[in-house]
A and B are shown apart, each in its own frame.
Chain A
Amino acid sequence: MSTRLSSGGRLIDRARTVEYSFNGKRLRGFKGDTLASALLASDQMLVGRSFKYHRPRGIVASGAEEPNALVGLGTGARFEPNQRMTTTELFDGLSSASQNHWPSLEYDVGVLNNAVAKFLPAGFYYKTFIHPRAAWKHVFEPVIRQSAGLGRVPKERDADRYEYFYAHCDLLVVGGGIAGLQAALVAGAAGARVLVLEQTAHWGGRAPVDGVEIDGKPAEAWIKASVQALEKMSNVMLRRRTMASGVYDHGYVLADEKVADHTPGDGRPRHRLWRIRAGRIVTATGAIERPLAFAGNDIPGVMLASAVRDYVVNWAVSPGDRTVVVTNNDDAYRTALALKAAGLQVPAVVDARDRADGALPQAARAAGIRVLTGSAIAKAHGGKRLSGVAICAQGGEGNAVTEEIPCEAVAMSGGWSPVVHLYSHCGGKLSWDEAHAMFRPDAARPPTGADGTGFVFAAGAANGALYVQDVLGDATKATIAALQAAGVAEVETVVPAVKAEVEAPMIPIWVMPQGAGPDLRMKMWLDYQNDVKVSDVQLAAREGYESVEHTKRYTTLGMATDQGKLSNINGLAVLSNALNAPIPEVGTTTFRPPYTPVTIGALAGEARGEIFQPLRRTAIHDWHEAHGVEWEPVGHWRRPYCYKNGAEIASAAVNREVLAVRERVGLLDASTLGKILVKGPDAGRFLDMLYTNMMSNLKPGKCRYGLMCSENGFLMDDGVVARIDEETWLCHTTSGGADRIHGWMEDWLQCEWWDWKVYTANLTEQYTQIAVVGPKARAVLEKLGGIEVSGEEFKFMEWREGTLGGLPARIFRISFSGELSYEIATPAGHGRALWDALLKAGEEFGITPYGTEALHVMRAEKGFIMIGDESDGTVIPQDLNLNWAISKKKEDFLGKRGQERSYLADPGRWKLVGLETLDGTVLPDGAYAVADGFNANGQRNTQGRITSTYWSPTLRKGIAMALVHRGPERMGEVLEFPKPDGSSVKAKICDPVFYDKDGEKQNV
């Protein structure tokens, strides 16, 4: 059984007990434990179940590479599935539960899959469940889905908050091991702005565990001194618990800082997402040990040799009284020695190499450890925990077992793979290193940045410097190169001497024993979580899934939550053997961000709920809010859709508002309307290009309705233009179009007609604009006093400037409702005062605020088009009978050439008409009028569609606008509009102007 040792543990504080729970069981650990170390100390060897076969799974690793030890962490609104135990710091009250089993971790019925595993090889689902067709949908797929998936589903809204942090630096150092610290020391001394990120809670990485001496002292002392030195440098910033998750183009890096994962609910943001722009990046991200592929290598108790060492040295955890070490390299002997030093037994080191004569094997022998060279594990025994291993020769087929060794743990090492993820994210290339059987960054083909030069420099083990003696020198070299690339010329360096046992070369071992037959290969796991075995990769190769990407996708190798950190290279090697092609030719799959999974809440940041997007408010927003408003989002604005009186429903409110305007007077907050000032000697000429009609001949003091089209000829915006003076025009746009149209104007002015003297300013937010509309509108304005508003003095389609009720005002006499109407603009600071004054002045006339829906109903009653309803990006002004607003005199305007193209000039286009039902009901929105027959693809032919449809409270009947094939020539014809329910409605084509056809009301 695994237990806590009575002494030792460099990271734990035995004086501080921490209480936590696992699967409802209350347990104790120490401060400094990870959930993994604490559970191992409590003999929890079985911690989860695999994805496909539901096989028992134990802890394999001690860090971010862990594929098995995943839990659901926390409860309720702080529940998070798939948390790695190995990177979860223990805290008081931590609650965890294992995953992917039913009814319990110990007794999981899903393990039936394991019993029939030989019927479920890689890709079996592509070959079956094909017949009968319905069974896939109703039986097979639901069963597959239910048995797949890992963690439980969070049910509640996240209780935590997340924040962003923006940082800029000359040099980003990723990794706080000795390579990273050396890089920071070099760069810090050179005066560069340095940011150092370490994903764990501790500085120093593996060196303290491996018994390294630096500058004649234990590594720990050098690490401490280095961190202290760095903390004193004002140009260096250090962050622990911060994982650099991805490198993006032009030196952009994301990093996830776990601020309060270990102190949940303390009020701080849970994570902080660092958004970094780095001049250059040094990746000192270390290396990850590889498992060995032997039969039964997935039984709980089989662990990485480095992990076993970490648990013993860092957390004083014994994986069992007897640990067999199995290796193809010298480094694993450090684990044997560490176990021995902790008073534990190492029955044997099983070394696949024929010779093991290096300093470390010699030290092991000297410590009384038996070393079996040329040997392999033929098979590991056990179910939910390991009971022993069978030993054989590495060279054979594994049938001749030389020895059975009972043991509780196996510490395996298949060599090391540099962590090249960050180097690769942005296109950095790797080269194959035969000596260490690993891919390492190719410094000649780095990821390149904005200037075309490399911006990521790998350092230390991450660069393939696997022998610790080489690490600081390599890190120094990488840092100097990075600094020089960043333009820092003067760099002084001191490379401390590193002392450690010299390691003899490793040999690559991809399958153990070498000649293992199919029975053993079916038990050799490559991907522990996804249950991909050596036999699966070989099957994929046999079936022609030869590309490494095919093999990955066919077998799901490396697609688990660890993204193949342990399995990819082993799988690749098995594939290359199966294809008889060298490993570098087979290549790797693509490394993609993030390095380890990042909480989605952290990526989404603080923008949630009300602040999900910016909210634009008019000066009158608060008044609306206090008066029963129903909002409608329009871009980032909110506009009142209507105002509800008490329990009134929206449609009733709209009808009331319409009638109030038609009979008395209404008030509309039109502030969101775009207002763009266009000024300069060439402004008239410019607007003539922009609008379909002529604007240069508009007289100061007058207004004109205008249309804008895209170069394709399609209608894109409309609005009233007022000429302010000889050189100045004020262009009104739709609410949603203001920014776009301003950008559009600037585009043409800056990029096409840059010699034209025109200046534009988007004044949309500078003015509040209020429409006073209805027969009593003039009376309300007269009561306020100021600008003369009599019909003789101030005619329709004119504007005046002055004061109104003592407030500065520019009044436009324009109408979108057909009523007598004044739109009053005042500087936004006076907006609310003007609104209040108008309400007060209008009180005796029954003034009624109205919203966008009443506005829409009234414009439809008048047959006025609405951008976005009658136009949809495919409609030209001619379709809307707006030829009167298209100048025939102008040589050119934007969209003119586009409208001359054959499809747009076709007289058979659908054109605007009005529609009324025969019985006065409201036509369905969006309905199409059918024509006879079907097209070549069997679709029903159509001849028109409804663009707007409303109940008109004024006319007390349904009215609609529609685009109909040759519509205006077909007045009085009846069209049929089928509904999805199978019924249909008939409607008669009529004039789209339903109300006040002669336009007398707006002219009074």
Chain B
Amino acid sequence: MKRYSVFAIAREAMRHHTGWERAWASPEPKANYDVIIIGAGGHGLATAYYLGKNFGITNVAVIEKGWLGGGNTGRNTTIIRSNYLQDPSAAIYDKALKLYENLSQDLNYNVMFSPRGLLMLAQTHHEVRGYLRTVHANNLQGVATEWIEPAKVKEIVPIINIDGPRYPVLGALWQRRGGTARHDAVAWGYARACSDMGMHILQKTEVTGVRQENGAVTGVETSRGFIGTKKLGIVVAGHSGQVAGMAGFRLPLEAVALQALVSEPIKPCMDVVVMANTVHGYMSQSDKGEMVIGGGTDSFNNFTQRGSFHHIEETLRALVETFPMISRLKMLRQWGGIVDMTGDRSPIISKTPLGNCFINCGWGTGGFKAIPGSGWAMAELMARGHAPLAAEFGLDRFREGRFIDESVAAGVAH
């Protein structure tokens, strides 16, 4: 693979950019792989990447029904943070954040990780206490966060209205290392690196069945024929239930719509990510200048990638109250994704009833920020059968009542 650099661009500019290679190959499937990952979203590609990088397992196929990065990886609000309350969450999200910090260099692909800082506003006394608790917990987890007072919030975010009549800002949880990244680039960068290791990314290949013998997976039926494998990883977010159904087991998941929107681009006005959980809205500004906005999930099972307008209305109302200047910006585009929610709103990275089949799903509204950490943990689980980062996220926790509940500190868990 030719490396990307400013020199490569200069060289190519002299020949009208005709010499660039494909970022990833488009091979024919082999008959057998050591590992098949179903789902070429961020989590699936990252799993493949760390299987290769950390464990030298490169005879890997990543099978994708549509186009890579076309699910929630390409339709989220790109927020990255690790200020989680519970130890298992903080561990995996902070691992992800640390990997994000060097991901562009690691992949030789600029994913535009932007550690601009992230604020979670406290607008009720209950929220103040919740975030004070989070700061203490983060301190012991090795995640640097701090509690800041309203005046400091205003200093960091001059466009914010801290003394609204209904929910004045009482302070905020501040994670300096939090931020955003270019979502598509994360998938593309991993895909390019996987392809470079000789892995096969099979796009437009739909899995239609999971073949098994004696309690183990032997391969998958696909729209391009049967493909054999020694190990199978299912990393398909909203469609986990369907694929798990093919493999013969059920998951504690429900798929609902999560909506987001962007404004038209304006000049830089907000250099951090702000989340206002009491009123259900969050906002950041993309490098293009769009205000990127999201809120809570829709309420019913839905596979359409469309949501209901009243959720958008509530989100915008909350943000106009928090940032009065956005009233005269315009909504450019709204969209929806399908998020898979578990019983405790935390993910599943787990073994399954089939010995050589593993599942990674249930990221709900928080998947993008976890991608590198999730891939790291999933790869270790698949390679070694055990991974400390994944240990608490097993399927068995529901039977045991061992919840990882993040909603206890903040109303929403994205």
A positions within 8 Å CB-CB of B: 51, 78-82, 118-119, 121, 124-131, 133, 136-137, 141, 144-146, 148-158, 246, 248-249, 252, 254, 275, 425-427, 518-519, 522, 535, 539, 542-547, 549-550, 553-554, 556, 561, 563, 590, 592-594, 597-601, 603-605, 607-610, 612-613, 615, 632-633, 641, 712-713, 868-869, 872-874, 898, 901-904, 924-928, 930, 935-940, 942, 945, 977-980
21 contacts between A and B (CB under 8 A): A128-B110, A148-B287, A246-B334, A248-B309, A252-B308, A427-B304, A542-B20, A543-B22, A546-B67, A547-B67, A593-B334, A600-B319, A612-B167, A641-B125, A898-B401, A902-B401, A903-B400, A903-B401, A936-B388, A939-B90, A978-B136
CA distance A601 to B95 in the complex (A): 39
| CB within 8 Å for A544 and B135 given contacts A594-B331, A599-B330 | no
Known: A535-B16, A609-B164, A980-B135. 4 other contacts (CB 8 A): A148-B289, A543-B20, A563-B333, A609-B166
Does residue B197 face the partner (Cβ distance < 8 Å to A)?
no
**B166 near A939 (CB under 8 angstroms)?**
no
Query: Which of the residues B88, B110, B408 comes within 8 Å of A127, measured between beta carbons?
Result: B110
Query: Which of the residues A133, A546, A598 comes within 8 Å of B331, measured between beta carbons?
Result: A598
Does residue B211 face the partner (Cβ distance < 8 Å to A)?
no
A918 to chain B, nearest CB (A): 19
| CB within 8 Å for A600 and B263 given contacts A612-B164, A873-B408, A937-B388 | yes
Query: Which of the residues B132, B267, B327, B399 comes within 8 Å of A151, measured between beta carbons?
Result: B267
A512 to chain B, nearest CB (A): 19
B335 to chain A, nearest CB (A): 5
**B132 near A522 (CB under 8 angstroms)?**
no
Does residue B137 face the partner (Cβ distance < 8 Å to A)?
yes
**B136 near A928 (CB under 8 angstroms)?**
yes
**B105 near A131 (CB under 8 angstroms)?**
yes
Judged by DSSP, the binding face of B is mixed
| CB within 8 Å for A633 and B124 given contacts A141-B114, A592-B334 | yes
List the B side residues contacting A546 at CB < 8 Å: 26, 67
Contacts across chains A and B counted by CB atoms under 8 Å: 329
**A904 near B401 (CB under 8 angstroms)?**
yes
CA distance A79 to B13 in the complex (A): 41
Query: Which of the residues B20, B139, B165, B267 comes within 8 Å of A612, measured between beta carbons?
Result: B165
- Chain B, range 70-87, C-beta contacts under 8 Å to A: 70, 74, 87
| CB within 8 Å for A426 and B306 given contacts A146-B267, A609-B164, A980-B146 | yes
Does residue B1 face the partner (Cβ distance < 8 Å to A)?
no
List the A side residues contacting B331 at CB < 8 Å: 594, 597-600, 603
A271 to chain B, nearest CB (A): 11
**B399 near A597 (CB under 8 angstroms)?**
no
| CB within 8 Å for A901 and B401 given contacts A141-B287, A249-B308, A942-B140 | yes
B330 to chain A, nearest CB (A): 4
- Chain B, range 321-349, C-beta contacts under 8 Å to A: 321, 324-335
List the A side residues contacting B136 at CB < 8 Å: 924, 926-928, 945, 977-980
Does residue B312 face the partner (Cβ distance < 8 Å to A)?
yes
**A553 near B184 (CB under 8 angstroms)?**
yes
The 10 residue pairs across chains A and B that have the minimum distance between CB atoms: A149-B289, A926-B133, A597-B330, A601-B327, A547-B67, A901-B401, A158-B327, A127-B4, A544-B22, A937-B91
| CB within 8 Å for A926 and B400 given contacts A124-B9, A874-B408, A939-B141 | no
Does residue B188 face the partner (Cβ distance < 8 Å to A)?
yes
A881 to chain B, nearest CB (A): 19
**A130 near B5 (CB under 8 angstroms)?**
yes
**A600 near B4 (CB under 8 angstroms)?**
no
**A545 near B266 (CB under 8 angstroms)?**
no
**B115 near A127 (CB under 8 angstroms)?**
no
**B265 near A150 (CB under 8 angstroms)?**
yes
B250 to chain A, nearest CB (A): 19
Does residue B108 face the partner (Cβ distance < 8 Å to A)?
yes
**B87 near A937 (CB under 8 angstroms)?**
yes
List the A side residues contacting B312 at CB < 8 Å: 603
CA distance A127 to B136 in the complex (A): 40
The residue in chain A whose Cβ has the minimal distance to the Cβ of B409 is A872
| CB within 8 Å for A146 and B203 given contacts A128-B9, A543-B20, A928-B137 | no
The residue in chain A whose Cβ has the minimal distance to the Cβ of B203 is A547
Which residue, A153, A546, A615, has most C-beta atoms of chain B within 10 A? A153
List the A side residues contacting B30 at CB < 8 Å: none
**B141 near A940 (CB under 8 angstroms)?**
yes
The residue in chain A whose Cβ has the minimal distance to the Cβ of B87 is A939
CA distance A547 to B187 in the complex (A): 14
**A612 near B140 (CB under 8 angstroms)?**
no
CA distance A195 to B387 in the complex (A): 61
Does residue B18 face the partner (Cβ distance < 8 Å to A)?
yes
**B400 near A902 (CB under 8 angstroms)?**
yes
CA distance A937 to B92 in the complex (A): 9
B105 to chain A, nearest CB (A): 6
**B388 near A945 (CB under 8 angstroms)?**
no
**B401 near A712 (CB under 8 angstroms)?**
yes
CA distance A605 to B315 in the complex (A): 12
List the A side residues contacting B67 at CB < 8 Å: 546-547, 549-550
The residue in chain B whose Cβ has the minimal distance to the Cβ of A153 is B269
Does residue B235 face the partner (Cβ distance < 8 Å to A)?
no
| CB within 8 Å for A133 and B23 given contacts A80-B328, A126-B109, A904-B401 | no
List the A side residues contacting B333 at CB < 8 Å: 563, 592-594
| CB within 8 Å for A610 and B401 given contacts A145-B268, A600-B316, A940-B141 | no
Residue-wise, chain B 95-132 has the 8 Å CB interface mask toward A (1 for contact) of 10000011011001111111100000001111001111
Does residue B34 face the partner (Cβ distance < 8 Å to A)?
no
Does residue B31 face the partner (Cβ distance < 8 Å to A)?
no
List the B side residues contacting A155 at CB < 8 Å: 325
**A126 near B110 (CB under 8 angstroms)?**
yes
**B18 near A518 (CB under 8 angstroms)?**
yes
**A936 near B320 (CB under 8 angstroms)?**
no
List the B side residues contacting A605 at CB < 8 Å: 313, 317
| CB within 8 Å for A603 and B402 given contacts A945-B133, A978-B139 | no
B390 to chain A, nearest CB (A): 10
CA distance A519 to B66 in the complex (A): 34
**B324 near A157 (CB under 8 angstroms)?**
yes
Residue-wise, chain B 212-236 has the 8 Å CB interface mask toward A (1 for contact) of 0000000000000000000000000
A581 to chain B, nearest CB (A): 12
Does residue B264 face the partner (Cβ distance < 8 Å to A)?
yes
A734 to chain B, nearest CB (A): 12
List the A side residues contacting B125 at CB < 8 Å: 632, 641
The residue in chain B whose Cβ has the minimal distance to the Cβ of A146 is B268
List the B side residues contacting A632 at CB < 8 Å: 124-125
List the A side residues contacting B408 at CB < 8 Å: 872-874
| CB within 8 Å for A939 and B13 given contacts A563-B333, A600-B326, A873-B408 | no
List the A side residues contacting B115 at CB < 8 Å: 137
List the B side residues contacting A550 at CB < 8 Å: 67, 69, 184, 188
Query: Which of the residues A128, A149, A924 comes within 8 Å of B4, measured between beta carbons?
Result: A128
Query: Which of the residues A554, A592, A607 comes within 8 Å of B335, measured between beta carbons?
Result: A592
Residue-wise, chain B 15-31 has the 8 Å CB interface mask toward A (1 for contact) of 01110111111100000
The residue in chain B whose Cβ has the minimal distance to the Cβ of A151 is B266
**B320 near A604 (CB under 8 angstroms)?**
yes
List the B side residues contacting A252 at CB < 8 Å: 308-309
| CB within 8 Å for A713 and B401 given contacts A119-B10, A149-B268, A600-B320 | yes
Does residue B47 face the partner (Cβ distance < 8 Å to A)?
no
List the B side residues contacting A600 at CB < 8 Å: 263, 316, 319-320, 326-331
Does residue B134 face the partner (Cβ distance < 8 Å to A)?
yes
Which residue, B24, B90, B126, B189, has most C-beta atoms of chain A within 10 A? B126
- Chain B, range 288-319, C-beta contacts under 8 Å to A: 288-289, 304, 306, 308-309, 312-313, 316-317, 319
| CB within 8 Å for A937 and B389 given contacts A249-B308, A600-B263 | yes
List the A side residues contacting B184 at CB < 8 Å: 550, 553-554
B91 to chain A, nearest CB (A): 4
The residue in chain A whose Cβ has the minimal distance to the Cβ of B333 is A592
